[in-house]
Amino acid sequence: MSITGWDHHVMKRRDYLRAAGVAGALGLAGCTGDGGTTESTTATTTTTGSTTAGTTGTASASRTLTVATYPSYVDGSDSPGAWLKERFEAAHDDVTVEWSTPTSGSSNINEYIQRAKQGAAIDADVYVGLNTDELVRVDQELDTQLFATVRDDLTHAADVKEGLNVDPKGRALPYDTGYVTPVVDATTLEVVPETFDDLLQSRYRGDLLAENAQSSDTGKAFLLHTIHQQGADGYLDYWRDLLDNDVRVLDSWDAAYNAYTKGEAPMVVSYSTAKVYAANQGEDLDKYQVAFLNDEGYANPESMAVFSGSERRELATAFVDFLLSEEAQRTVPQLNYQSPATTTGSLSGNFAKYNEEPANPVTFTYDELAGNVTEWVEEWARLVAQH
């Protein structure tokens, strides 16, 4: 079974199998600038099923819907993208779904920000895999509206869990969410930490692997959780204490998780579905204990949006609505090793048995991140670089 990438900026889907083959962990890379870049280094591919090509082919159907996403969302026959393509095409006889996987810097959305700034064509109808802070960045950097308002046109929008609605303008709709929190090897640690303050104890010196908040979704989510917990005036002091307790900050989830599986440290910032993967792979579940600090986990929803310039607006909106349907919410989040975003989504198999969600999910809203998140991350990066 292919399980590809947890981290949005590295792989995004949970690639435990690929991570096991990575040679060594990376150190914190520089801490200069944001996770994106201002120069567009684009390598756009289109995919049909599990086949990837460098150029767009001619669709045999009368209508083609182009959906942009990150590569691992469509890699492999068991990917969320493969299932969505098959099911949506089955419901629309004259439609072909083509996947586009641009890469610009460390975030796919940068490609479309740069195109919009340059007045270039947006060669996609839907974007899948948008984080809340990325939506904030879109609005900060562009004077025009990149995405269309579609919420009122959706049948299933009301099913989205209230705490996961990320966009006050009704453009971006979440289709799944991950809960970011430390994962602990309980075969090594006798006592699993229960609070943020516990992580500062000398007994956990050097035990925690975290990720760079400038280049990693999990790293940024964990940073935001500490800000939510400690406050904007106290989070830097907390991180100073964490660094004094020898927390290791690696560049990506992939690097941190690889170091964790090699036994370099007994704790890693990761996702609360860790035990599901362990069960699916026949691993020792005690090595993947989820530690919800202060009974909380940071909800990091992935959203989708329709490009405002799409010539297939109605079809694109139907695709978004289908991804929120009960059928899709039963399947897509589990293929992506995430939790459903709607109240109609249900879990099965090892997901139903081993998936864990915090008693108190926390997250920052769009309005709370706007005007703050860039400064928070930059202040954190300066602290880490100087320590």
Note the pLDDT of residue 182: 98
Q: pLDDT band for 78, please (50, 70, 90 cuts).
A: confident
Question: What burial letters (b/e) apply to 23-61, b meaning 16+ CB within 10 Å?
Answer: eebbebeebeebbbeeebeeebbbbbeeeeeeeeeeeee
Provide the domain count of the chain.
Answer: 1
Note the pLDDT of residue 77: 81
Q: How many CB atoms lie within 10 A of CB 120?
A: 12
- Model confidence at 145: pLDDT above 60: yes
Note the pLDDT of residue 86: 97
pTM metric for this prediction: 0.84
> What mean pLDDT is reported for the chain?
86
Identify the CATH number of the domain in which residue 54 sits. 3.40.190.10
Instruction: Please tell me what DSSP assigns to residue 11.
Output: T
pLDDT digits (tens, 9 = 90+) for 192-223: 999 999 999 999 999 999 999 999 999 999 99
Q: pLDDT band for 107, please (50, 70, 90 cuts).
A: low
- Which residues constitute the domain of residue 313? 42-177+301-355
Note the pLDDT of residue 108: 81
User: Tokens standing for 93?
Assistant: 């006889």
Strand partners, 299: 179
- Whether 246 is covered by a domain: the verdict is no
pLDDT digits (tens, 9 = 90+) for 22-60: 333 333 333 323 333 223 333 344 444 333 333 333 444
- Model confidence at 244: pLDDT above 70: yes
What CA–CA distance (Å, rounded) separates 15 from 27? 20
Instruction: Please tell me what DSSP assigns to residue 137.
Output: H
User: Tokens standing for 220?
Assistant: 């940024």
- Whether 365 is covered by a domain: the verdict is no
Rg for the chain (alpha carbons), in Å? 20
User: Tokens standing for 45?
Assistant: 């591919």
User: Tokens standing for 63?
Assistant: 């209508």
Contact 280, 90 (CB under 8 A): no
Q: pLDDT band for 103, please (50, 70, 90 cuts).
A: low
What CA–CA distance (Å, rounded) separates 298 from 221? 6
Mean pLDDT of 240-246: 98
- Whether 2 is covered by a domain: the verdict is no
Instruction: Please tell me what DSSP assigns to residue 199.
Output: G
Contact 69, 99 (CB under 8 A): yes
User: Tokens standing for 322?
Assistant: 């289908």
Sign for the pseudo-dihedral over CA of 107, 33, 22, 286:
negative
- Whether 136 is covered by a domain: the verdict is yes
- Model confidence at 11: pLDDT above 50: no
Contact 175, 128 (CB under 8 A): yes
- Whether 47 is covered by a domain: the verdict is yes
- Whether 103 is covered by a domain: the verdict is yes
Note the pLDDT of residue 381: 98
Could you please report the per-residue DSSP string of 210-244?
Answer: EE-TTT-HHHHHHHHHHHHHH-TTTHHHHHHHHHH
H helices of the chain, where?
16-19, 80-91, 109-118, 132-141, 217-230, 235-244, 253-261, 274-280, 313-323, 326-335, 349-354, 366-369, 373-386
pLDDT digits (tens, 9 = 90+) for 338-373: 999 999 999 999 999 999 999 999 999 999 999 999
- Model confidence at 164: pLDDT above 50: yes
- Whether 203 is covered by a domain: the verdict is no
- Whether 259 is covered by a domain: the verdict is no
pLDDT digits (tens, 9 = 90+) for 316-334: 999 999 999 999 999 999 9
Mean pLDDT of 275-290: 95
Note the pLDDT of residue 1: 29
- Model confidence at 236: pLDDT above 50: yes
**Pick from 97, 82, 92, 91: nearest CA to 49:** 82
